[in-house]
Amino acid sequence: MADSSSTPRILMVDPSLAFRPEDVIKESGWQFRNYVEDSDDPQLKQVKETYLKMHTYQTVDYVKKKHEHWRKFDKFEATILEALQKLNALVDESDPDVSVPNIVHAFQTAERIRAAHPDKDWLQLTGLIHDLGKVMAFYGEPQFSTVGDTFVVGCEVGKSVVYRDTTFHDNPDTKNPKFNTKYGIYEPNCGLDKVYLSWGHDEYMYHVLKHNNSTLPEEGLYMIRYHSFYPWHTGGDYMHLCDNRDLEMLPWIREFNKFDLYTKKEEVPDIEELKPYYQSLIDKYCPGTLKW
The answer to the question of residue 93 being in a domain is yes
Query: What's residue 21's pLDDT?
Result: 54
The answer to the question of residue 135 being in a domain is yes
* pLDDT at position 262 over 80: no
Regarding predicted confidence, which is higher, 34 or 14?
14
Average pLDDT over residues 213-225: 98
DSSP per-residue letters across the chain: ---GGGSPPEEE--GGGG----HHHHHTT--PPPP-SS---HHHHHHHHHHHHHHHH--HHHHHHHHHHHTT--S-EE-HHHHHHHGGGEEE-SSTT---BHHHHHHHHHHHHHHH-TT-HHHHHHHHHTTGGGGGGGGT--GGGTSS---EESSPPPTTSTTTTTS-TT-GGGG-GGGSSSSTTS-TT--GGGSEEPPSHHHHHHHHHHHTT----HHHHHHHHHTT-HHHHTT-TTGGG--HHHHHHHHHHHHHTTS-S--TTSPPP-HHHHHHHHHHHHHHHS-SPEE-
Per-residue pLDDT band for 2 (boundaries 50, 70, 90) equals: very low
Average pLDDT over residues 130-151: 93
92 is in an annotated binding site: yes
130 is in an annotated binding site: yes
Query: What's residue 258's pLDDT?
Result: 86
The answer to the question of residue 241 being in a domain is yes
169 is in an annotated binding site: no
Least confident of 78-82, 95-99, 170-174, 232-236: 95-99
The answer to the question of residue 145 being in a domain is yes
Say how many domains are in the chain: 1
131 is in an annotated binding site: yes
* pLDDT at position 13 over 90: no
Regarding predicted confidence, which is higher, 15 or 57?
57
CA neighbours closer than 13 Å in the CB half-sphere of residue 259: 28
Whole-angstrom distance, CA of residue 114 vs CA of residue 108: 10
90-92 and 10-12 beta bridge pairing: parallel
Whole-angstrom distance, CA of residue 45 vs CA of residue 51: 10
pLDDT tens figures, 152-209: 999 999 999 999 999 999 999 999 999 999 999 999 999 999 999 999 999 999 999 9
The answer to the question of residue 273 being in a domain is yes
The answer to the question of residue 14 being in a domain is no
Q: Residue 224: which domain range? A: 59-291
33 is in an annotated binding site: yes
Regarding predicted confidence, which is higher, 21 or 153?
153
Query: What's residue 94's pLDDT?
Result: 39
Query: What's residue 95's pLDDT?
Result: 37
Average pLDDT for the chain: 87
Average pLDDT over residues 89-112: 70
Regarding predicted confidence, which is higher, 5 or 199?
199
105 is in an annotated binding site: yes
* pLDDT at position 213 over 90: yes
Query: What's residue 37's pLDDT?
Result: 65
* pLDDT at position 278 over 60: yes
pLDDT tens figures, 27-75: 544 444 344 566 676 777 888 888 999 999 999 999 999 999 999 999 9
Whole-angstrom distance, CA of residue 149 vs CA of residue 14: 9
193 is in an annotated binding site: no
149 is in an annotated binding site: yes
The answer to the question of residue 265 being in a domain is yes
Express as a percent the part of the chain with pLDDT over 90: 71
160 is in an annotated binding site: no
201 is in an annotated binding site: yes
The answer to the question of residue 33 being in a domain is no
Query: What's residue 5's pLDDT?
Result: 45
175 is in an annotated binding site: no
Query: What's residue 45's pLDDT?
Result: 80
